[in-house]
């Protein structure tokens, strides 16, 4: 028998090769920590939505080994349907090997409505229609009359007042007409899927928009494994659509780009030229000099770490709001003296007030504040100023004093082949200081990037004391390296123009 699930069906509709690779080459599936954290957060939102319509029964059951007990779940679903329960969560069905679980199945007269819960902030993703059409198809073949279909998404305008109001946290959108239309595709798609999945040979599917839409595909590395490195997909600041167009014209390597006469300007030109011939470092002394002239001592190198909880944790915050929880600040004086300040909040309480006070105390009013990619830090400073009017004057002055250390790299004043067209501090630093272990993020313990910091901070809550102390230490070390790295980058800029 052909076995398929809702998620496999959605994968198949994104690209048939995804389903095939998941079955036959699962070891090639690679997602980063941030994407995994997003999936986990989706489960948390699903659990929260169960209470959306008051009393409910949930069929989720586990086997002794921990995996889902699907037989038990289907049996419980049958029982609750027979009992005429109003709200059945994770209601599970199987029609000739086609399995699906409905987030909330809600009684509506002689039938049921489907509520599909998404952690997304918008219902406007076609994959959700594909997903719910599959559910309707399976349920109707199992004898359930499906009347209406709804998407339950997160409303980012909701402000947490201290007790979570899930009726306001969620937004419900009816999608029945769209699902009815999409339903016509299900039967044909399932027949195709059966054919593809039963064949031992990898389906001949080439790269397309589906590799990024609706989700970045976790097999992209596998599917591009035979391309030269770097390839057209590494081009800086180029839309994926344009890269695809070049790829399908046979333009794969940087040599191909030149041969095909693709027009390149600015950084992209430099990226390709420097990749093809090791020209050392490109230094525009005048450009760097102009940038350095805009800086004045004391130089305050600042970096925030933040969390972005879907379910707001602190009064006055919204779903998905960026909450700064940590900062590192290196202060460089004219005489070369370097001081370090830092702050790390506690997840148990809103860290923003203490963090804002720390900034006001630590950053001199006349200090030139240097960040790497200023949009993020400036937005956080603006939000803090709005949240704490008594500190806003100083916080806004800090914001006005911000200079972006990214600029000399983004403008191409300083370029080396190793930057590979990426100007994040994680790319610039190893390119400028390839052999300095002190400036190597890989040598840090526990936390090596912002995503890991974001994932670790909320977990401090509930950690045993010793483990928590170690985790806090790792967070502080990570953030400190971000600002120390900026000091070193600044010194390097000074060195090359001296
Ligand atoms: S990378 Fe693209 S072609 Fe390969 S499996 Fe994913 S979506 Fe399909």
Same domain, 257 and 387: no
Share of the chain above pLDDT 70, in %: 100
The CATH number that applies at residue 496 is 3.30.420
Pick the atom of ligand 1 nearest to 210's CA. Answer: 7
Whether 226 maps to a domain, the answer reads: no
Share of the chain above pLDDT 90, in %: 88
Same domain, 146 and 183: yes
Read out DSSP for 437-474? GGG-GGGSSS--SHHHHHHHHHHTTT--HHHHHHHHHH
Q: What is the pLDDT of residues 135-189, one digit of tens each?
A: 999 999 999 999 999 999 999 999 999 999 999 999 999 999 999 999 999 999 9
| pLDDT on residue 420 | 85
Same domain, 417 and 448: yes
pLDDT at residue 36 tops 80? no
pLDDT at residue 202 tops 90? yes
| pLDDT on residue 237 | 85
Cα–ligand 1 centroid distance for 3 (angstroms): 22
Cα–ligand 1 centroid distance for 190 (angstroms): 19
Same domain, 238 and 301: no
Whether 207 maps to a domain, the answer reads: no
Residue in the structure block whose two tokens are 């200090």 = 367
DSSP H or E stretch at residue 486:
helix 465-497
Cα–ligand 1 centroid distance for 30 (angstroms): 12
Q: Which domain holds residue 464?
A: 279-498
| pLDDT on residue 194 | 96
How many other CB atoms are there within 10 angstroms of residue 378's CB atom? 17
218 lines ligand 1 (CB under 6 A): no
Same domain, 26 and 173: yes
- Under 8 Å between Cβ of 170 and 152: yes
Last residue of a domain, one of 182, 198, 214: 198
How many other CB atoms are there within 10 angstroms of residue 127's CB atom? 16
Same domain, 194 and 237: no
Q: What is the pLDDT of residues 372-392, one digit of tens each?
A: 999 999 999 999 999 999 999
220 lines ligand 1 (CB under 6 A): yes
Runs of H (alpha helix) within 294-423? 352-362, 374-387, 389-400, 407-410
Same domain, 256 and 107: no
Closest residue to atom 3 of ligand 1, CA basis = 207
CA terminus-to-terminus distance, the chain: 73
Q: Which of 133 and 66 is assigned the larger pLDDT?
A: 133
Mutate to test the pocket of ligand 1, among 12, 20, 207 (most ligand atoms within 8 A of CB): 207
- Arithmetic mean of pLDDT, 309-328: 96
134 lines ligand 1 (CB under 6 A): no
Q: Which of 191 and 421 is assigned the larger pLDDT?
A: 191
- Under 8 Å between Cβ of 192 and 4: no
Cα–ligand 1 centroid distance for 223 (angstroms): 6
Q: What is the pLDDT of residues 273-313, one digit of tens each?
A: 999 998 889 999 999 999 999 999 999 999 999 999 999 99
Instruction: Identify any residues that bridge with 112 across adjacent strands, giving them in sequence order.
Output: 107, 146
| pLDDT on residue 367 | 83
Residues 6+ apart with CB under 8 A from 289: 497
Q: What is the mean pLDDT of the chain?
A: 95
Q: What is the pLDDT of residues 430-460, one digit of tens each?
A: 999 999 999 999 999 999 999 899 989 999 9
Band the pLDDT of 356: cuts 50, 70, 90.
very high
| pLDDT on residue 20 | 97
210 lines ligand 1 (CB under 6 A): yes
Cα–ligand 1 centroid distance for 209 (angstroms): 9
Closest residue to atom 1 of ligand 1, CA basis = 220
Whether 181 maps to a domain, the answer reads: yes
Whether 220 maps to a domain, the answer reads: no
Whether 218 maps to a domain, the answer reads: no
Whether 116 maps to a domain, the answer reads: yes
pLDDT at residue 468 tops 90? yes
493 lines ligand 1 (CB under 6 A): no
Same domain, 184 and 298: no
Cα–ligand 1 centroid distance for 416 (angstroms): 32
Cα–ligand 1 centroid distance for 152 (angstroms): 28
Read out DSSP for 119-145? SSS-S--HHHHHHHHHHHHHHHHTT--
Mutate to test the pocket of ligand 1, among 22, 23, 220, 227 (most ligand atoms within 8 A of CB): 220
The CATH number that applies at residue 11 is 3.90.320.10
How many other CB atoms are there within 10 angstroms of residue 315's CB atom? 11
Distance CA 30, CA 99 (A): 25
175 lines ligand 1 (CB under 6 A): no
Cα–ligand 1 centroid distance for 96 (angstroms): 28
Same domain, 304 and 256: no
Cα–ligand 1 centroid distance for 461 (angstroms): 38
| pLDDT on residue 99 | 97
Same domain, 318 and 239: no
pLDDT at residue 42 tops 80? no
Q: Which of 255 and 364 is assigned the larger pLDDT?
A: 255
Q: What is the pLDDT of residues 71-97, one digit of tens each?
A: 999 999 999 999 999 999 999 999 999
pLDDT at residue 393 tops 90? yes
Band the pLDDT of 352: cuts 50, 70, 90.
very high
Last residue of a domain, one of 245, 277, 309: 277
Whether 227 maps to a domain, the answer reads: no
Whether 324 maps to a domain, the answer reads: yes
Number of domains in the chain: 3
258 lines ligand 1 (CB under 6 A): no
196 lines ligand 1 (CB under 6 A): no
Mutate to test the pocket of ligand 1, among 8, 13, 14, 15 (most ligand atoms within 8 A of CB): 15
Cis peptide before 298 (omega within 30 of 0): yes
Band the pLDDT of 37: cuts 50, 70, 90.
confident
Cα–ligand 1 centroid distance for 276 (angstroms): 28
Same domain, 124 and 244: no
Last residue of a domain, one of 277, 307, 332: 277
Same domain, 184 and 264: no
pLDDT at residue 422 tops 90? no
């Amino acid at each position: 028998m052909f076995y398929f699930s809702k998620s496999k069906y959605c994968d198949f509709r994104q690209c048939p090769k995804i389903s095939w690779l998941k079955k036959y080459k699962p070891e090639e599936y690679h997602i980063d920590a941030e994407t995994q954290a997003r999936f986990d957060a989706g489960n948390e939102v699903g659990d929260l939505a169960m209470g959306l319509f008051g009393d409910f029964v949930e069929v989720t059951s586990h086997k002794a080994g921990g995996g889902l007990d699907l037989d038990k779940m289907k049996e419980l679903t049958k029982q609750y349907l027979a009992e005429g329960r109003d709200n059945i969560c994770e209601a599970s069905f199987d029609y000739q090997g086609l399995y699906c679980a409905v987030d909330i199945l809600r009684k509506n007269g002689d039938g049921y409505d489907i509520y599909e819960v998404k952690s997304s902030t918008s219902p406007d993703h076609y994959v959700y229609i594909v997903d719910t059409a599959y559910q309707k198809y399976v349920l109707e073949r199992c004898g359930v009359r499906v009347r209406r279909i709804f998407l339950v998404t997160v409303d980012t305008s909701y402000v947490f007042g201290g007790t979570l109001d899930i009726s306001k946290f969620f937004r419900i959108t009816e999608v029945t007409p769209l699902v009815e239309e999409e339903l016509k595709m299900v039967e044909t798609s399932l027949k195709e899927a059966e054919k593809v999945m039963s064949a031992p040979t990898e389906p001949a599917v080439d790269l397309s928009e589906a590799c990024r839409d609706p989700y970045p595909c976790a097999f992209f590395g596998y599917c591009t494994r035979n391309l030269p490195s770097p390839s057209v997909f590494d081009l800086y600041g180029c839309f994926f659509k344009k890269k695809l167009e070049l790829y399908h014209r046979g333009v794969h390597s940087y040599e191909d780009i030149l041969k095909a006469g693709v027009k390149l300007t600015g950084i992209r030109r430099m990226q390709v030229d420097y990749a093809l011939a090791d020209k050392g470092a490109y230094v525009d002394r005048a450009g760097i000099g102009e940038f350095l002239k805009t800086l004045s001592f004391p130089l305050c190198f600042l970096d925030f770490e933040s969390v972005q909880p879907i379910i707001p944790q602190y009064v006055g915050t919204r779903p998905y709001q960026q909450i700064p929880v940590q900062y590192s600040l290196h202060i460089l004086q004219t005489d070369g003296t370097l001081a370090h300040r830092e702050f790390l909040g506690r997840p148990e309480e809103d860290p923003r007030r203490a963090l804002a006070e720390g900034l006001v105390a630590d950053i001199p009013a006349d200090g030139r504040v240097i960040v790497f990619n200023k949009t993020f830090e400036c937005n956080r400073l603006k939000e803090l100023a709005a949240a704490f009017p008594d500190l806003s004057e100083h916080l806004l002055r800090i914001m006005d004093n911000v200079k972006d250390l990214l600029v000399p790299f983004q403008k191409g004043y300083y370029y080396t082949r190793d930057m590979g067209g990426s100007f994040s501090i994680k790319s610039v630093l190893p390119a400028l200081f390839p052999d300095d272990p002190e400036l190597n993020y890989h040598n840090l313990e526990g936390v090596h990037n912002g995503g890991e910091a974001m994932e670790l901070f909320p977990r401090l809550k509930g950690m045993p004391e010793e483990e928590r102390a170690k985790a806090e230490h790792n967070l502080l070390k990570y953030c400190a390296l971000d600002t120390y790295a900026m000091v070193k980058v600044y010194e390097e800029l000074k060195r090359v123009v001296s």
